[in-house]
A and B are shown apart, each in its own frame.
Chain A
Amino acid sequence: MSLLEVCAISRFFGGLAALKDVSFEVRKGEILGLIGPNGAGKTTLFNVVNGFYRPSQGEVRFQGGRISGLKPHQICKRGMARTFQVVKPLQRMSVLDNVIASAFLRAGNKQQAAEAALEILAFTGLQQDRDVISKSLPLGKRKRLEIARALATKPELLLLDESFAGLNPSEIEALISIIRDIRERGITIMIIEHHMRVIMSISDRIVVLNYGQKIAEGTPLEIGRDPLVIEAYLGEAQHA
């Protein structure tokens, strides 16, 4: 069953097509990897799906209903949360308050919001940092805070934008297991990632973008063998 359907989406900035006729679906319960070289349109796609941009053409459907044209907060309310590539913590708030602020979306009062937030901090391994002002968190924990905050809105679908960028190997291992645990909770995940080893190991399926167009879709094994992908992406990486 498809949770999210991206139907023939195009997005133009002036004359430039950042996305051109992109279609794919995200199935309930899977982890879908979204990869592509720099400037391929991955983050633009997230911005279209999440409501920051309106698609120039095409539509986005979520849980059977059309969501393109809705505002980000409305889309979030319907069960989609995202993290940002450039982390956006609520800087002068403590880690706990950051998560409480987003937990209010599904909580009746402050006590419920605080309980939900504490549970999520424990789940993401941030409970020791609950009183730290988020401005002073190291990058690895800030990335985790982004995820914690997104989880606090109790999403059906979680969009992760380069959550692994800039992490050291042990942080990467920890985050991989957190993401697998999130899926165990029944949350579907779409993830943008440059880290090939990570994306190949955690994704059920992968969609590849290049110059705003979808050039391949399939299991990690299929993607690894696809000549178009190797030329556009892996080939380029080998030369670099």
Chain B
Amino acid sequence: MMKNAFPYIGLGALLLFPLLGFSSYLMHIAILVIMWSVIGMAWNLLGGYCGQVSFGHAAFFGVGAYTAGMLYSKLGLSAWWGIPASIVVVTLVALVIGYICLRLRGPFFALATLSMGVILRITAENLVKITGGDIGIMIRERTWVEKIWYYYIILALAVMTFLVVKQVVGSKLGYYFVAIREDQDAAESLGIDTTYYKTVALCLSGVITGLAGAFYTNYMGYIDPKVVFALHDISIITIMVVMVGGAATFSGPVVGAVIMVLLAEMIRSIPKLGAAHHTFFGLLLIVIIIFLPNGIVGDFEKIRKLFRTRQEQP
């Protein structure tokens, strides 16, 4: 009973959260946490369940962000149109990336996706006439000054993503994804069209990440290639969110997003050392891989045992 009620209690708390009158800064942190949960859940579909580790999710995030930005800067439309439009654009991009990268396996796939993110960043930097190049795109008219509406929009996106992941994982698609992760040859000989299902996983994962990107443009009001196509700040953090929280778990990406966003904010506020936040993330990743390879959610039992034995010792 309690377990069934838990998601609703959580959702209720999240809905009420902005009404408590937190500062604009705290609202900003909450929005970032939810946005990273969305990206983490998206990556988890492809990397956690289907076993295709992407080092280039910034490609999808950036394409989503630029879809929204360019609708505004080139066509004079509201950047919010970027949210539906990015579904189409990112699907096309994901199909191309999938066609190139999905014939590769394991580390080769990871490296190919990494290069895709970099290629798109350099392209966006150089197509000055279309993207504005390094200057980026500025949304001059902000829709709302209050953060509360942005909060509810990203929360809606997160709830949708969660439901999609839940639906996919419990269905034939989810079984096929995991079969592909565990053994591609076995999956293929069990009648699973591995290329097709890997493409489905990539498109789903890419589109959701792109939606987060389109939201980002609207929320931040400014994008440039170095920010939205960033290898360290987007692609790698996406992987860390899932690894820290727990790959192939429902709540892992959410837990990971909370930890990573708070950690990033804390480290950045340390004088002098703050600039070295990537170093701290690297160390954290090493610790996680050695001691909690399944992440905090996946290895929760391990963590609990650790504390239990500590308490028993006087």
Contacts A73-B193, A93-B182 known; A101 to B176 CB distance under 8 Å? yes
Q: Does B179 contact A (CB under 8 A)?
A: yes
- Report how far A73 CA is from B197 CA in the complex, Å: 12
Q: Contact at B191–A101, with CB atoms within 8 Å?
A: no
- Select the stretch in B129-137, B167-175, B226-234 that faces chain A: B167-175
**A90 contacts B191, C-beta separation under 8 Å:** no
Whether B189 contacts A72 by the Cβ 8 Å rule is yes
* A88 close to B185 (CB less than 8 A): yes
Question: Is the C-beta of A180 less than 8 angstroms from some C-beta in chain B?
Answer: no
Say if the beta carbon of A195 comes within 8 Å of chain B.
no
- CB contact list, A105-142 vs B, under 8 A: 105, 109-110, 113
Most chain B CB atoms below 10 A, which of A89, A90, A100, A150:
A90
Among A53-61, A77-85, A202-210, the one that faces the other chain is A77-85
Indicate if the CB atoms of B189 and A50 lie closer than 8 Å: yes
Q: Interface readout for A51-77 with B: 1 if CB under 8 Å, 0 if not?
A: 010000000000000000001111011
Q: What's the nearest-Cβ distance from chain B to residue A130, in Å?
A: 15
B259 smallest CB distance to A (angstroms): 24
Is residue A214 contacting chain B, with contact meaning CB distance below 8 A? no
Residues of B in contact, count (CB < 8 Å): 19
Contacts of B178 in A (CB 8 A): 90, 92-93, 97, 101
A101–B185 CB distance below 8 A: no
Contact A81 B171, CB 8 Å, known A93-B182, A101-B179: no
In-complex Cβ contact of A84 among B170, B176, B186 (8 A)? B186
B188 touches A73 (CB 8 A): yes
- Contacts A73-B191, A101-B178, A101-B179 hold; do A90 and B186 have CB atoms under 8 A apart? yes
In angstroms, Cα B194 to Cα A90, docked, is 14
**Does chain A have a CB within 8 A of B183?**
yes
With A71-B188, A76-B189, A81-B189 as contacts: A92 and B182 at CB distance below 8 Å: yes
A residues near B190, Cβ cutoff 8 Å: 73, 76, 81, 101-102, 105, 149-150, 152-153
Say how far A71's CB is from chain B's closest CB, in angstroms: 7
- Determine the distance from Cα of A113 to Cα of B188 in the docked complex, in whole angstroms: 18
Asked if A91 lies at the interface with its beta carbon under 8 angstroms from chain B, I say yes
Q: Inside 8 A of B170's CB, which chain A residues have their CB?
A: 110
Does A72 contact B188, Cβ atoms closer than 8 Å?
yes
Q: How far is the CB of B167 from chain A (nearest CB, A)?
A: 11
B171: chain A residues at CB < 8 Å are: 110
Residues of B within 8 A of A88 (CB): 183, 185-186
Q: What CA separation (Å) do A197 and B188 show in the bound complex?
A: 32
Q: Is residue B192 within 8 Å, beta carbon to beta carbon, of the partner chain?
A: yes
Quick check: is A211 within 8 A (CB to CB) of the other chain? Answer: no
The distance in angstroms between the C-alpha atoms of A88 and B185, with both chains bound, is 8
A82 and chain B: residue at smallest CB distance: B189
Would you give the shortest CB distance from B299 to chain A, in whole angstroms?
14
Contacts of A113 in B (CB 8 A): 172, 175
| CA distance in complex: A81, B185 (Å) | 13
Contact residue among A52, A77, A100 (Cβ-Cβ distance under 8 Å from B191): A77
Binary CB contact string for chain B from 187 to 214 against chain A (1 if under 8 A, 0 otherwise): 1111111100000000000000000000
Q: How far is the CB of B51 from chain A (nearest CB, A)?
A: 10
A104 CB-CB contact with B under 8 Å: yes
- Measured CB to CB, the closest approach of chain A to B173, in angstroms, equals 9
Residues of the B chain whose Cβ atoms lie less than 8 Å from the Cβ of A150:
190
- Bound together, the chains give a CA A172 to CA B72 distance in angstroms of 70
- B308 to chain A minimum Cβ distance, whole angstroms, is 24
Contacts of A76 in B (CB 8 A): 188-191
The minimal Cβ–Cβ distance linking A52 to chain B, given in whole angstroms, is 7
| Contact of A73 with B194 in the complex, beta carbons under 8 Å | yes
B3 to chain A, nearest CB (A): 19
Residues facing B in A141-191 (CB within 8 A) are: 149-150, 152-153
Partner of A102, one of B182, B185, B191, B194: B191
Q: Can you list 17 A-B pairs with a CB-CB distance of less than 8 A? A: A52-B188, A71-B193, A73-B190, A76-B188, A76-B189, A76-B190, A77-B191, A88-B186, A92-B182, A101-B175, A101-B179, A101-B192, A104-B175, A104-B176, A109-B172, A113-B175, A153-B190
Given contacts A88-B186, A113-B175, 10 further A-B contacts (CB under 8 A): A50-B189, A73-B190, A76-B190, A90-B182, A90-B186, A92-B178, A100-B175, A101-B176, A105-B192, A109-B172
What 5 A-B pairs are tightest by C-beta distance, nearest first? Answer: A76-B191, A90-B182, A88-B186, A105-B191, A102-B190
Task: Give the B-binding residues of A (Cβ under 8 A).
Answer: 50, 52, 71-74, 76-77, 81-82, 84, 88-93, 97, 100-102, 104-105, 109-110, 113, 149-150, 152-153
